[in-house]
Copies of this chain bind each other. A is one copy, B any other.
């Protein structure tokens, strides 16, 4: 297996990418190929004391910025790490691509260069949502598709469920639909129609869930449109940060408080880690013909390493193939199956 790693995207590239790749060599023997400015990357590898041949380097000189038009950037910057990596994936010269670069460029590039799995209309960004004291949930769409139709959400549910089962190892994962009330009748036009579709599938669909229950880990797979998914992620991040900052402020506001806080230091620190909605790395872009993982822009070396390791079951369990099979199986049934023709449920 050849794991392609973007040596350009994110706040701390290429340093942390090199650091994470070197760390990962302790846990895997797969080839790790970093794409970026070759000289810089080779220098960093040397500086960090790496002299093996498991990590290879592919030269790419152009960088796609977060504020560029993604489609234009993909079309023009042929020598960017993202465009090079996507073509390598397409040509079979790589099995998975990991990047902390522009989400828009990854989505647009994935769409244009790799294409969607037959029957899937929209790739979705699936994000790991941390749950305190429990295994995390998977939230999708986390922001790739602002406007969605019911059958898109149905496809997200299938893809998320497969990823959760095959990569994260959750058995028969529960699927919940974000709405403004748990009753079936509650919701927007979108969620009410989606409910009906999900209710007829073989998925472990538990019905609507309220946003209040998302942080409790009420469902393994949380399905929503990209607008709401973005609101859920960003609000969780903002509110958790605000509360933790306020704790710190209050706990240092008097001498006795400081003393008390000192006794709780490890507990506070571990909680801060647990509610760090920003740091959980490695969001798969599901629905493309190849495996893609998006890392957070501020990932550190440890996050890069974790994402590299997570990409291995993603490829080995052939999640892309399994999504494709799931869709095809339905097509073989003459479009009468769960995902139906063009991904739409026939009723």
- Interface positions of A (Cβ within 8 A of B): 132-133, 143, 146-147, 178, 180, 187-189, 210-216, 226-228, 230-240, 242-243, 246-247, 250-251, 253, 256-257, 259-264, 267, 270-271, 274-275
Most chain B CB atoms below 10 A, which of A228, A236, A263: A263
Give the Cβ gap from A128 to chain B, nearest Cβ, in Å.
Answer: 16
Neighbour of A238 across the interface among B189, B213, B242, B262, CB < 8 A: B213
Q: State the oligomeric state as a number of copies.
A: 2
Cross-chain contact B275 with A267 (CB below 8 angstroms): no
Chain B residues within an 8 Å CB radius of A239:
214-215, 235-236, 239-240
Cross-chain contact A251 with B267 (CB below 8 angstroms): yes
**Bound-state Cα–Cα, A269 to B230, Å:** 31
Known: A211-B230, A212-B235. A257 touches B251 (CB 8 A): no
Chain B residues within an 8 Å CB radius of A270:
250
Can you identify 26 A-B contacts, CB atoms within 8 angstroms? A132-B243, A133-B246, A146-B187, A146-B188, A180-B226, A180-B227, A180-B231, A180-B234, A187-B227, A210-B234, A211-B232, A214-B235, A214-B239, A215-B238, A216-B238, A231-B232, A235-B235, A235-B236, A235-B239, A236-B239, A243-B275, A250-B271, A251-B264, A257-B263, A260-B264, A261-B264
Known: A227-B188, A264-B264. A234 touches B211 (CB 8 A): yes
Chain B residues within an 8 Å CB radius of A267:
250-251, 253, 257
Chain B residues within an 8 Å CB radius of A147:
188-189
Give the Cβ gap from A23 to chain B, nearest Cβ, in Å.
Answer: 29
Cross-chain contact A257 with B246 (CB below 8 angstroms): no
16 further A-B pairs in the complex, CB-CB below 8 A; given A213-B238, A215-B238, A260-B264: A132-B242, A132-B246, A178-B231, A180-B234, A187-B227, A188-B227, A210-B234, A211-B231, A211-B235, A211-B238, A214-B239, A250-B264, A251-B264, A257-B263, A257-B264, A260-B262
Cross-chain contact B264 with A243 (CB below 8 angstroms): no
Cross-chain contact B234 with A212 (CB below 8 angstroms): yes
Select from chain B the residue with minimum beta-carbon distance to A278.
B212
Most chain B CB atoms below 10 A, which of A147, A180, A226, A275: A180
